Amino acid sequence: MARIVWVASYPKSGNTWLRFLLANLILGEQVTSSAKVQLLVPDIHDGITGTHLMPGLTTLIKTHWAYNTAFPLREDTAGVIHLVRHPVDTLESNQNYAINRSGELTLQKTPEEMQAFASNFVDEFIRDGGHRQFNQFGIGSMEQHFASWASPVIVFPKLLVRYEALKEDPERELKRISTFIKLKRSEEQIALAVRNATDSEMRRLEETEIAEKRHGIFYQDRNRSAIEAGHRFVGRSATGASRYRLTPEQRERATQRFAALIRQMGYQAAP
């Protein structure tokens, strides 16, 4: 079997961007489709193939699941790249994603109703410690998810990557990751991978795939209504509408709710 290195994160922590960075780095040139990213760094939630599990390979596989003793392919696991993001910003990103993927809802509701929907989402997320539906999918709360991958009982190598550090200096963080997965790349190759996975490059690819209805990460039948409503994965909105932002009061409540997790992740209180 292949040697599996998981790219693990709680949803909306920057996993897709990291997959694009890694795919560009593995390929050695710019990936020309999000389907290629799925091939090079597959998502276990969308399915993997026998090709990904060929003996002798080191395969990077995205997952949002919390780790546990029944985790699939655990006996073939060689390590984990554990991507984390400040919990308050993770909440805000999840709020926007929930609104963006509800394309028909956005068209049918008034701005006031949508604001109420957004506020209710925040209240429930803070109350439950994460998106309550994620408990059904083996993801758990944010505290449970982080604890599962940070657990000292895990015997395979772990590399903690903070989203904020990745944004601040992607070349530095990608070099750390390359060393961790034993992928020899020069500084020039790392810099090229970063340039090929900028927001503008990913946004251009997203618009192309939507226009051509090319199935991949950005265009799928299940999110067609949201796409038709103008929502996007990169940049969120094709119309240029501003994103929903947490109010100061919501940020304070979220900071208090996740105070222990924020410390465990190594963050300061305020993101």
User: DSSP label at 161?
Assistant: E
pLDDT at 221: 79
pLDDT in tens, 3-49: 899 999 999 999 999 999 999 999 999 999 999 999 999 999 888 77
CA dihedral 226, 228, 231, 234 (to 10 degrees): 110
- Strand 58-63, strand 77-84: pairing: unpaired
Tokens 């546990």 found at: 68
The rounded distance, in Å, linking the Cα atoms of 128 and 132 is 6
Number of H helices, E strands in the chain: 13, 4
Report the SS3 class of residue 78.
strand
**pLDDT score at 1:** 67
Query: What is the dihedral sign for C-alpha 180, 270, 154, 56?
Result: negative
Q: Helices 187-195 & 170-180, crossing angle to 10 degrees?
A: 120
The per-residue pLDDT for range 178-211, each reduced to its tens digit, is: 999 999 999 999 999 999 999 999 999 999 999 9
The Cα 128–Cα 58 span in angstroms is 36
Strand (E) or helix (H) holding 255: helix 248-257
8 burial (CB, 10 Å; 0-12 / 13-18 / 19+) is buried
Higher pLDDT: 236 or 83? It is 83
Residue 84: in which H helix or E strand, if any? strand 77-84
pLDDT value at residue 222: 76
Among residues of the chain, what percentage have pLDDT more than 90?
A: 68
Average pLDDT over residues 136-140: 91
- Provide the mean pLDDT of the chain: 89
Q: Which residues pair with 82 in a beta bridge?
A: 8, 160
Task: Please write the tens of the pLDDT for every residue from 199-258.
Answer: 999 999 999 999 999 999 888 877 777 777 777 878 665 544 446 789 999 999 999 999
| Domains by residue range for the chain, with CATH | 3-265 (3.40.50.300)
**Amino acid identity at 63:** T
